[in-house]
Structure 1
Amino acid sequence: MISSMMENKKKRIVANKIESKKAARLSNYQDEFEYLTNAGVALEVSAITDVKFPLIESSTKNLLKLYLNDVGILTGVLYGSNISAVLNDVPSINLGAVYETVVAQELKAHGKKLFYYDNRHKGEVDFLIDDFDSLSVVPIEVKSGRDYRIHSAINNLLKTNENAKGIVLSNSPNVVQKGAVLYLPIYFTMFL
């Protein structure tokens, strides 16, 4: 079900959809989630509602996302053996789930703990990482479409801290700094 959860707007795990139980809670499935992450099948991304360094202090266990730990498996599940959707950047296909999975894998490979920001009023940011050099938090938004410069949730976060910097990863080949936001090609994730 991880790939189907990736296709919903919030991309987070909804407990009552796992077994169609109305009163289901994420805590009922904690052992299963831990098994998937410990086995290397999935990457767990914990929700943060109060953005402050270090992020682990603000982590909440009642909201989480799971990403497959292999973008090849994800694209196989989503598109079968037809990889033209990914290779040709087919406009009718939303590659957001694929891009986010790539970023989650790369951040985890570089030893980053994975968090995301979720706030009803300020929006949702795909990833938050600790910057241990500046003792701050870096919000990261992953965009698969042409409107990659629209990111109200990062803007809202950056307003609360004048020294904060945000990153937007997209399929644009250009590196651009605009105010506190750095726009990078998706493959630059390896340098974060």
Structure 2
Amino acid sequence: MVETLKRKAYDDLLAWKSGKTKQALLVTGARQIGKTYLIREFGRAEYDHFIEFNLALDDAARESFAAARNPGDLLLRISIAASEPLVPGSTLIFIDEIQYCPDIITLVKALVDKGEYDYIFSGSLLGVELENVRSYPVGYMSELFMYPMDFEEFCWSMGLAGEAFAMARESLRNEQPVPEYLNERLLGLFHRYLLTGGMPDAVGAFVRDGTIDNVRRIQSDIRRFYNRDITQYAPKDRRLVIQEIYRLIPSELNNSTRRFKVGDVSQVKRYSQIEDEFLWLSRANVALPVYNVEEPRSPLLASRERKLLKLFYSDVGLLTGTYDKQATLGILDGLGAEGRMNYGGVYESVVAQELTAHGFVPYYFTGKKTGELDFLIEDESGRVLALEIKSGSRFRSHAALNKALDMPGYAIDGAYVLAETNVAREGKVLYLPIYMASLLQRPRVV
């Protein structure tokens, strides 16, 4: 990973360090999103002493820690295995790939209570392997969920000054057009982001080379890693179905509704047959489910329908990397539906990724009298916002959104159309450039 990749999660780590009392930190998220790199950078910069153990690679440490009988015994073993002395008050102990020895967490609780050292845990597939971690007493452990690099972080890596996003935020706040030179620059970067995605190694390769071949190789490797994880960690009787669902995601997003058709999975007729398989992919953080709601009314969770969903890859670059390279030329030029293929699924995928990374739980809605709304979200005040995502030039055609806004009994508080355009309001609808999905955000909490 290149040294220039600035991450917002670094500020979250700083907030944990300054705001905690006696709390460990569990950093979760999908594989290959930069967790280990960022924690290592943080530990070396913010502590006088940084101790790191990788339990997947360090067999001696893993076996020794697993044999610990009590907290004091574990601390002794940590001190023996450490590459430098443990100094109370100025040492961060980072235990990576904690899923290889989850019992450590129980013992570390008592060590955290003593307050002598700071502890960070991380690893792969923690949502699957360490679900019981979240049952520990409140106050003992905070959790930081990391995501692939969002569009703003990608822009930082491409050398865009922070003032550019400040100007874009001001335009959104005042509902005024972004200066045209900046709007064109951000749209151009956004099209590149659709191709690279937010996996740090892929972004680093693009920053270094300016070409797509190494990016696509890295994306292919990551998809292969995810398939290997399914083989290694998923229950044996469910692995083949989970792998099939994961492989089907690109083709399912290419259909007109983007909805995942359960019947496309071999020998499956009902959602109930494979609900656990969808949950596994979600908990492994390699896929983002977006569920249907029965009505656009707060709270959206109350009317969620689990059997109807859209399923996205956790990173848009992993999706576009599955396409034939020549077919992605239209993405680079922002052609949307006018290119060699319809990129509606790509645009919805990146919006789902941005919304999720920024604290929202996105849903979608389909009504017999209205049609389909691409996304529904709730802001921190509980207001329901409808988002229509348009990849082509006919973005002012949105009959379903118009009907939903006029439908008696619906409770939609705001409506956005995100497209290849600039900021403009027409009645109840606010048109936004597609990259402004990255500016919609709920307050971050660590």
Query: TM-score, normalised on structure 2?
Result: 0.41
**Structure 2 partner of 1:183:** 431
| Structure whose residues are more often helix by fraction | 2
Cα displacement (A) at 1:60: 0.8
**Structure 1 partner of 2:383:** 136
**Structure 2 partner of 1:156:** 403
Cα displacement (A) at 1:82: 5.8
Q: Report % sequence identity.
A: 39
Cα displacement (A) at 1:15: 1.2
Cα displacement (A) at 1:86: 1.2
The one-character-per-residue Cα deviations of 1:108-161 (angstroms, maximum 9, x if unpaired) are 00111120011122100110001232x321110000000101111111121135
- The 8 Å contact of residues 164 and 180 in structure 1, kept in 2 or not, is answered as no
Cα displacement (A) at 1:85: 2.6
- 5 Å-filtered alignment, 1:47-126, equals 47-80=292-325, 83-90=328-335, 91-92=338-339, 93-126=341-374
- The 8 Å contact of residues 385 and 416 in structure 2, kept in 1 or not, is answered as yes
**Structure 1 partner of 2:271:** 26
Q: Which has the larger radius of gyration?
A: 2
117-126 vs 80-89, greater mean Cα deviation: 80-89
Q: Secondary structure at the match of 1:78?
A: coil
Cα displacement (A) at 1:81: 6.8
User: Residues 39, 162 of structure 1: CA spacing in aligned structure 2 closer, same or farther, 3 A cutoff?
Assistant: closer
Instruction: Show structure 1 runs of 5+ residues with no match.
Output: none
Q: Secondary structure at the match of 1:77?
A: coil
Matched letter for residue 30 of structure 1: E
User: Residues 154, 84 of structure 1: CA spacing in aligned structure 2 closer, same or farther, 3 A cutoff?
Assistant: same
**How far apart, in 2, do the equivalents of 1:158 and 1:191 lie?**
23
Matched letter for residue 27 of structure 1: S
| Structure whose residues are more often strand by fraction | 1
**How far apart, in 1, do the equivalents of 2:363 and 2:370 lie?**
16
Cα displacement (A) at 1:49: 1.9
**How far apart, in 1, do the equivalents of 2:324 and 2:368 lie?**
32
The one-character-per-residue Cα deviations of 1:41-94 (angstroms, maximum 9, x if unpaired) are 110001012111110011111211101111111101123476423112342321
User: Residues 85, 32 of structure 1: CA spacing in aligned structure 2 closer, same or farther, 3 A cutoff?
Assistant: same
**Structure 2 partner of 1:37:** 282
Instruction: Show structure 2 runs of 5+ residues with no match.
Output: 1-247, 441-446
- The 8 Å contact of residues 43 and 66 in structure 1, kept in 2 or not, is answered as yes
Cα displacement (A) at 1:182: 0.5
Aligned residues: 188
Query: TM-score, normalised on structure 1?
Result: 0.91
User: Residues 182, 171 of structure 1: CA spacing in aligned structure 2 closer, same or farther, 3 A cutoff?
Assistant: same
